[in-house]
Chains A and B, each alone.
Chain A
């Protein structure tokens, strides 16, 4: 009932948190379930994006509710850093994936067992 009440309310922080939760869950499942290494990378992007939505929501001047606690501009700054670090992470991970593809002629992460004990 708590959940269905929220659909009738004006847009607040909780709505953004719900979207972030769905994106985070989709990203985790994507990381777990995909066999393609690039699919795992896309799951990581989804997880980072869900976290970014939460930062923006908590720092938003529009959504700030009756509560008097807000992280203010820090949320947007942290979101910017997350975006930059995600770009860096994607570059390195893609380079590793291409190297793996060159050496093993596959992108299946289940076949990457050179280090298996």
Chain B
């Protein structure tokens, strides 16, 4: 009895240890990668524009998870906040504003599907060949799950902010050969800020309500008011 209990406890411990030995990084990468790819393909395959927007949200969210796994947690957070929170809300608003019955689901002709699938297969073959072809890209820095502990990447928000201010503080102490001149990003940062302002003004100008009819409406309203006054006076 006692030994049996010990044996079960031992097997439970073994199970726990084997659970701890699971390659969590690889597993979460598989989950997020499958979600991103499947939802991207679903965006292409569905005809309903509302569902396309929903699948796109899921695909971009899974991509943010991939960014977190790659150690780019600030970019992942920005992806969630700007892309999923801002850009896609904008797209969903566009879908809602134009979702009249004939435009919700627009069928693509069959011959277009044939041509597009040929294009997709060719493009995917080239890209896959290019991405698996280089041996230097295939080995990770540290093998996880093989007993070697992956060193935690240092937080990247501070170096990113300093680089946007024009100073590079990311160290090159890890023996990585980097370009000798690492420039800051102050000028692109300023250009992007002005660009966003101009885009905001331009988008508001383009999407404004039509004012062409307003003077005529005011005019007719004024005329009717005049008639009313004349009628009242008479």
Contact = CB atoms under 8 A, between A and B. Distances in A.
Interface of A: 2-3, 6, 9-30, 32-36, 38-39, 41-43, 45-46, 49, 52-53, 56-57, 59-70, 72-77, 79-81, 83-88, 90-92, 94-99, 101-102, 106-108
A17 B102 CA distance: 38
A97 B87 CA distance: 15
Interface stretch (B4-12, B124-132, B213-221, B222-230): B124-132
A23 B36 contact: yes
Interface string B41-65: 1011000010011001001100100
B78 interface: yes
A52 B146 CA distance: 30
A108 B106 contact: yes
A6 B138 contact: yes
Instruction: Give the bracket for the number of chain B residues in contact with chain A.
Output: 35 or more
Contacts of A77: 160, 163-164, 185
Given A28-B119, A29-B44, 18 more contacts: A12-B139, A16-B66, A19-B37, A23-B40, A29-B119, A42-B43, A46-B40, A53-B66, A60-B72, A61-B154, A63-B141, A64-B141, A70-B178, A81-B185, A84-B196, A91-B200, A92-B199, A94-B203
Contacts, number: 285
A47 to B, nearest CB: 10
Contact of A56 (B72, B82, B120): B72
A12 B140 contact: yes
A28 B41 CA distance: 11
Interface string B6-43: 00000000000000000101100100010011001101
B70 A63 contact: yes
25 contacts: A3-B132, A6-B138, A14-B137, A17-B127, A18-B33, A21-B131, A26-B40, A26-B41, A26-B120, A27-B40, A32-B119, A35-B107, A38-B95, A39-B49, A56-B72, A65-B137, A65-B140, A68-B176, A72-B176, A73-B170, A76-B74, A88-B196, A90-B90, A91-B203, A96-B206
A28 B72 CA distance: 26
Nearest to A41: B91
Contacts of B60: 45, 49
A18 B178 contact: no
A29 B192 contact: no
Contact of B137 (A42, A45, A61, A67): A67
| Nearest 9 Cβ contacts at the A-B interface | A17-B131, A21-B127, A67-B136, A95-B206, A95-B207, A26-B40, A13-B137, A60-B70, A88-B199
A46 to B, nearest CB: 6
Contacts of A87: 82-83, 86-87, 90, 196
A30 to B, nearest CB: 5
Interface in B94-136: 94-95, 97-98, 102-103, 106-108, 112-113, 115-117, 119-120, 123-124, 127-128, 130-134, 136
